[in-house]
Amino acid sequence: GENVEQHPSTLSVQEGDSAVIKCTYSDSASNYFPWYKQELGKRPQLIIDIRSNVGEKKDQRIAVTLNKTAKHFSLHITETQPEDSAVYFCAALAATGRRALTFGSGTRLQVQP
Partner 1 sequence: NAGVTQTPKFQVLKTGQSMTLQCAQDMNHEYMSWYRQDPGMGLRLIHYSVGAGITDQGEVPNGYNVSRSTTEDFPLRLLSAAPSQTSVYFCASGQGGTTVQYFGPGTRLTVT
Residues forming the site for partner 1 (CB under 8 A): 1, 6, 9, 31-32, 34, 42-46, 49, 51, 89, 91, 93, 95, 98-106
List phi, psi (to 5°) of 106. Answer: 100, 150
Q: Which is nearer to partner 1, 49 or 78 (CB)?
A: 49
In the complex, what is the shortest distance from the CB of residue 33 to partner 1, in angstroms, rounded to a whole number? 10
Tell me the C-alpha distance between 3 and 55, whole Å: 21
- Largest Cα span, the chain: 45
Q: Which is nearer to partner 1, 19 or 92 (CB)?
A: 92
Rg (CA), the chain: 14
Q: Which is nearer to partner 1, 34 or 66 (CB)?
A: 34
